[in-house]
Structure 1
Amino acid sequence: MASDYNDVLQKLCHHLKQFTGPDAEITPETDLINQLAIDSVKLLNLIMEIEDEFDISVPINALADVQTVHELATLIHQIRTANK
């Protein structure tokens, strides 16, 4: 299960770099809004890419409590696990 989460985290970081640039340092503790400047439009585009990548559907209301890369990766992992 940990390797599955790590896979999600790695792919999520790859997608985030497309929105922030290759020089951005992205760790699980990185704040999406304050450190990466992910606004609502970028977040929706990111979620669409994630949904395509993992063949899942992320409810918009589930994003209200997501602030860090780790929280988003955990949410994606939970949705993937529930859909298996």
Structure 2
Amino acid sequence: MKQVGRRIEPPLLAEPSGAALADGLAFSASVAGLAGGRVFFPKGVFRYKSHAEANAHQAACLAEGMARLARDRRRG
């Protein structure tokens, strides 16, 4: 296996640091930006009779959210 890069893990510190907080906030902001700040899945607790039913609900929510996102991007 070929290794392309090397990730340097930050050290675990007993005291919090501002740099670590800034890194965490930057990561959270980049993840939130992936969907344009939109949430595809509704909030709440859902109970399903089977895994298949849960997967179907997840797929339906994702498809609806992606369609909404595409429609909003088309409008400008």
- Give the TM-score normalised by the residue count of structure 1: 0.28
Give the number of the structure whose alpha-carbon radius of gyration is greater: 2
User: What TM-score results when the alignment is normalised by the length of structure 2?
Assistant: 0.30
